[in-house]
Structure 1
Amino acid sequence: MQAPATPHAVPAPLLARAHALLQAGGRRLLGLVGPPGSGKSTLAQALQAALPTQSVIVPMDGFHLANAELQRLGRAGRKGAPDTFDSAGYAALLRRLRSQPAGETVYAPAYHRDLEEALAGAIAVDAAVPLVITEGNYLLLAEGAWGAVAALLDDVGYVDVDPTLRRQRLAQRHQQFGRSAEAAADWVAHTDEPNARLIEATRGRAGFVVRV
């Protein structure tokens, strides 16, 4: 059953959790986690649009390793797997955002799908903005440096979507950014889906579930 939506298309339970964090005062970090193609980025953008002066989005995807580094490490064919990100760097940024001094601007990286690369310093986070929305695949993963992330977040919502729709979205996305239909289907089956199963296993660690 789909949750009721606000005029900004934000499921009501998600908006309620965000308002609860804002009412608590201070800097708060809200995470959205889910498998590839679940709609995390779209939800984060809708929530930020509903709270335009009170929130900013800092995506996990800004910590993708550069393509040249993935080639060097022999991981280019698994881009999107946990070890293809700078997870320690992501955790370090979250720590900095939690304790950001008044008057300071923190600059976060952003991932550009058209370039298939992350760009440093692309997102300015002002200390006066109370809510940081961060979204990504591995916010609840316990292994390695990822294990520090969940404790740095005040609340985490798991984004749940029909798996067939999710896979269709992924195939369309891969084709949109240059893969053939066959190559897109292969990437979904052999790269995205193993990651999705890993992410789905972390669902029980989320504070709430957002069904879309």
Structure 2
Amino acid sequence: MELQQLVTRARRLAASASVSAIPARRRLLGIAGPPGSGKSTLAAHLVSELAGSAVLVPMDGFHLAEAELRRLERTDRKGAPDTFDATGYAALLARLRSPEPDTAVYAPAFDRRIEEPVAGSIAVAPDVPLVVTEGNYLLLDDPSWKRARDCLDEIWYVDLDDAERVRRLIDRHERFGKSRAHAEHFVRTSDEANARLVAAGRERADLVVRFGAGAEPGPCGGS
């Protein structure tokens, strides 16, 4: 499917919302895929193209804080399903699904410069008809993550050639401060283990978006 067709599909989903009705009903679109596949790039491009009719709320805002990961002894597995607050994420999606009049919802974001979630970073106004959310585990076969999946109207799975995806991941880790050796080790031992978990949910997606090696899902770089 061409990029413009994806934008058109997202626009139709936004148009089907009823944020001015009582009770209101907002549409939620999930973009899933393994680390480095391009899902955040695609999600950001869709929101940009919809120009005010959509807001991006990434799953990454629900990373556990570094201090909590240390307490749980999970710092070497950061990015695995149990290093996120899946229940909190599902609760936010449920709240976003049914907006209250005159009430903005504030969502957290993840700041890669400090590797920490930051609360209250993303404002979702009550009249916005579509929320796009992206993350690895939207299709994971697990009760905690299924609660989040049940809030979504559609989930698209972004698929990318594995060699290209791994190259992008290593480059991204280097860009945010890891040495080349550390980046390669982290991708092999952590990111790729998570990628295998994510790939198991591909068949549950409403749409598979396939990008080949060297392809870009949108005009901005992404993960």
Shorter-normalised TM-score: what interval? over 0.9
Which residue pairs with 2:108 in the alignment? 109
Q: Following the alignment from structure 1 to structure 2, what is the Cα–Cα distance between the partners of residues 17 and 155? A: 10
* Structure 1 residue matching 2:150: 3-state secondary structure: helix
Q: Following the alignment from structure 2 to structure 1, what is the Cα–Cα distance between the partners of residues 187 and 33? A: 15
Which residue pairs with 2:180 in the alignment? 181
For the Cα contact (< 8 Å) 1:48–1:56, is it kept in 2? yes
Q: Following the alignment from structure 1 to structure 2, what is the Cα–Cα distance between the partners of residues 23 and 54? A: 9
User: Does structure 1 residue 19 correspond to structure 2 residue 11?
Assistant: yes
Q: Report the residue type matching 1:82 in the other structure.
A: P
* TM-score normalized with structure 1 length: 0.94
How large is the Cα RMSD of the aligned pairs?
Answer: 0.9
Q: Report the residue type matching 2:210 in the other structure.
A: R
* Runs of 4+ with deviation above 6 angstroms: none
Q: Report the residue type matching 1:164 in the other structure.
A: A
Q: Which runs of 5+ in 2 are unaligned?
A: 19-25, 212-223
Q: Following the alignment from structure 1 to structure 2, what is the Cα–Cα distance between the partners of residues 20 and 67? A: 39
For the Cα contact (< 8 Å) 2:139–2:205, is it kept in 1? yes
Q: Residues 121-140 of structure 1: matches in 2 within 5 Å?
A: 121-140=120-139
Q: Following the alignment from structure 1 to structure 2, what is the Cα–Cα distance between the partners of residues 40 and 12? A: 16
Which residue pairs with 2:145 in the alignment? 146
Shift of 1:161: 0.7
Which residue pairs with 1:8 in the alignment? none
Q: Following the alignment from structure 2 to structure 1, what is the Cα–Cα distance between the partners of residues 35 and 137? A: 10
For the Cα contact (< 8 Å) 1:13–1:210, is it kept in 2? no
Q: Residues 46-195 of structure 1: matches in 2 within 5 Å?
A: 46-195=45-194
Shift of 1:23: 2.7
Shift of 1:205: 0.6
* Structure 2 residue matching 1:149: 3-state secondary structure: helix
What is the number of residues matched between the two proteins? 204
Q: Following the alignment from structure 2 to structure 1, what is the Cα–Cα distance between the partners of residues 78 and 72? A: 11
* Structure 2 residue matching 1:56: 3-state secondary structure: strand
Q: Following the alignment from structure 2 to structure 1, what is the Cα–Cα distance between the partners of residues 8 and 208? A: 13
Q: Following the alignment from structure 1 to structure 2, what is the Cα–Cα distance between the partners of residues 61 and 128? A: 24
Q: Following the alignment from structure 2 to structure 1, what is the Cα–Cα distance between the partners of residues 14 and 34? A: 27
Which residue pairs with 1:34 in the alignment? 33
For the Cα contact (< 8 Å) 2:15–2:129, is it kept in 1? no
Shift of 1:211: 1.6
Shift of 1:178: 1.1
Q: Following the alignment from structure 1 to structure 2, what is the Cα–Cα distance between the partners of residues 150 and 204? A: 14
For the Cα contact (< 8 Å) 1:31–1:135, is it kept in 2? yes
Q: Following the alignment from structure 2 to structure 1, what is the Cα–Cα distance between the partners of residues 104 and 201? A: 32
Deviations 1:23-50 (A, max 9, x none): 3222100000000000111111111110
Shift of 1:101: 0.8
For the Cα contact (< 8 Å) 1:156–1:206, is it kept in 2? yes
Q: Which runs of 5+ in 1 are unaligned?
A: 5-10
Shift of 1:94: 0.2
